């Protein structure tokens, strides 16, 4: 049956498909009747039970095994790369290793282009290890001679996003909070659904070389994002009291205590907040012909979803 589908549809591979972005993107891609999706998984329990479709094929893959990688890419025209090893102790090295493995396998398989979701890297300032890893992953993918469309996004907002869950639980559980002064840094949070729509739009776009697409929503300070999230939850903004001395490792422990997000992830994300992560050139409207959904509407809608979960 898979061979018949190969000849009738444009096949789009997704590495990192079971994750937050991957599951959202699969739904977007399947709205196109001419697409079929080849979705990766490492172990059976990762496959979402509700995600079943004639044009959705789940293939197990181990990128570090060249034969497995080649098997996954069989018949794929466009590859979407969503892998991020943030929870791993050596995530920086692992990210680069996996990206090179995917790029090499893609070059051998004749992939037309790769679309990669990374993060916004601050200009003129030292980026955190997390954001540097995102940038180097894009460079590694592009080093194998395949056109790469690199989507660089700020904070992704959705009920499955670790970045959003940190904001939500801090805002919900601490109506008054003492925060590091570096939470004055600017960010451009964007609804994950909008980011997935953007990636979907790049599937048909001609990409030449290594092309960067920075995207983001309303620009705010991170502390204001926390306060606006509190307003979306209870109708009253959080009171934020910044203090000058508040180490990143202390912040990550605090995040784990309040939100339940593992310390390793909290540390990586907290380090990324020490610098501004806003698009130097926001290409969202250029590609989709509209602005992203306004931040306050996104926060209200997501807070309502989180409230429904609690009941």
For residue 294, pLDDT beyond 80: yes
- What's the pLDDT score for residue 158? 97
Indicate whether 233 belongs to any domain.
no
Name, in order, each residue with C-beta under 8 angstroms of 132's C-beta and a sequence gap of 6 or more. Answer: 92, 121
pLDDT tens for 33-75 read 999 999 999 888 888 888 888 999 999 999 999 999 999 999 9
Query: What are 75's two structure tokens?
Result: 């018949």
Closest by CA to 215, choosing from 137, 301, 286, is 286
Looking up residue 39, the CATH number of its domain turns out to be: 3.40.50.720
Indicate whether 15 belongs to any domain.
yes
For CA atoms 153, 213, 218, 273, the dihedral sign is positive
Domain that holds residue 109: 2-154+190-215+278-290
- What's the pLDDT score for residue 149? 98
Indicate whether 184 belongs to any domain.
no
pLDDT tens for 169-194 read 888 988 888 776 667 889 999 999 99
Closest by CA to 309, choosing from 195, 168, 157, is 168
Indicate whether 165 belongs to any domain.
no
- What's the pLDDT score for residue 133? 86
* Contact (Cβ atoms closer than 8 angstroms) between residue 15 and residue 141: no
Indicate whether 262 belongs to any domain.
no
pLDDT tens for 203-212 read 999 999 999 9
Indicate whether 84 belongs to any domain.
yes
Residues 222 and 38: their CA atoms lie apart, in Å, by 36
- What's the pLDDT score for residue 286? 97
Tell me which of 260 and 204 has the higher pLDDT.
204
Q: Pairing relation of β-strands 186-187 and 220-221? A: antiparallel
Query: What are 104's two structure tokens?
Result: 């090499």
Q: How confident is the model at residue 248 (pLDDT cuts 50, 70, 90)?
A: low
- Please tell me the pTM assigned to this model: 0.91
Indicate whether 306 belongs to any domain.
no
Indicate whether 127 belongs to any domain.
yes
Rounding to the nearest 10 degrees, give the CA dihedral for residues 96, 99, 100, 103.
-160
- What's the pLDDT score for residue 129? 76
* Contact (Cβ atoms closer than 8 angstroms) between residue 204 and residue 295: no
Q: Looking at the 3D structure of the chain, how many domains does it have?
A: 1
Q: What is the 3-class SS of the chain, one letter each residue?
A: CHHHHHHHCEEEEEECCCCHHHHHHHHHHCCCCCEEEEEEECCHHHCCCCCCCCCEEEEECCCCCHHHHHHHHCCCCEEEECCCCCCCCCHHHHHHHHHHHHHHHHHHHCCCEEEEEEECCCCCCCCCHHHHHHHHHHHHHHCCCCCEEEEEECCEECCCCHHHHHHHHHHHHCCEEEEEHHHHCEECCEEHHHHHHHHHHHCCCCCCCEEEEEECCCCEEHHHHHHHHHHHHHCCCCEEEEECCCCHHHHHHHHHHHHCCCHHHHHHHHHHCCCCECCCCECHHHHHCCCCCCHHHHHHHHHHHHHHHHC
């Amino acid at each position: 049956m898979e061979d018949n589908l190969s000849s009738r549809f444009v096949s789009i591979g997704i590495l990192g498909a079971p994750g937050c972005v991957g599951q959202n993107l699969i739904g977007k891609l399947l709205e196109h009747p001419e697409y079929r999706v080849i979705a990766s998984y490492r172990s059976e329990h990762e496959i979402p039970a509700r995600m079943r479709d004639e044009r959705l094929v789940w293939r197990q893959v181990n990128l570090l095994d060249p034969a497995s990688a080649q098997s996954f890419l069989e018949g794929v025209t466009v590859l979407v790369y969503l892998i991020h090893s943030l929870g791993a102790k050596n995530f920086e090295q692992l990210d680069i290793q996996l990206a090179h493995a995917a790029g090499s396998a893609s070059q051998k398989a004749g992939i037309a282009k790769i679309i990669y979701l990374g993060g916004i890297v601050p200009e003129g300032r030292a980026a955190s290890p997390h954001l540097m890893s995102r940038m180097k992953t894009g460079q590694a993918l592009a080093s194998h001679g395949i056109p790469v469309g690199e989507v660089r996004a700020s904070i992704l907002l959705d009920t499955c996003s670790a970045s959003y869950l940190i904001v939500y639980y801090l805002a919900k559980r601490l109506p008054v909070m003492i925060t590091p002064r570096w939470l004055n840094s600017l960010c451009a949070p964007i609804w994950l659904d909008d980011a997935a729509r953007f990636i979907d739009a790049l599937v048909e776009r001609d990409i030449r070389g290594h092309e960067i697409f920075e995207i983001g929503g309303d620009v705010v300070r991170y502390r204001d994002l926390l306060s606006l999230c509190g307003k979306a939850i209870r109708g009253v903004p959080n009171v934020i009291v910044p203090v000058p001395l508040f180490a990143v490792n202390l912040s990550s422990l605090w995040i784990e205590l309040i939100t339940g997000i593992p310390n390793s992830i909290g540390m990586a994300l907290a380090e990324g907040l020490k610098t501004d992560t806003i698009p130097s050139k926001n290409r969202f409207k250029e590609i989709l012909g509209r602005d992203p959904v306004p931040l306050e509407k996104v926060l209200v809608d997501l807070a309502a979803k989180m409230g429904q979960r609690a009941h």
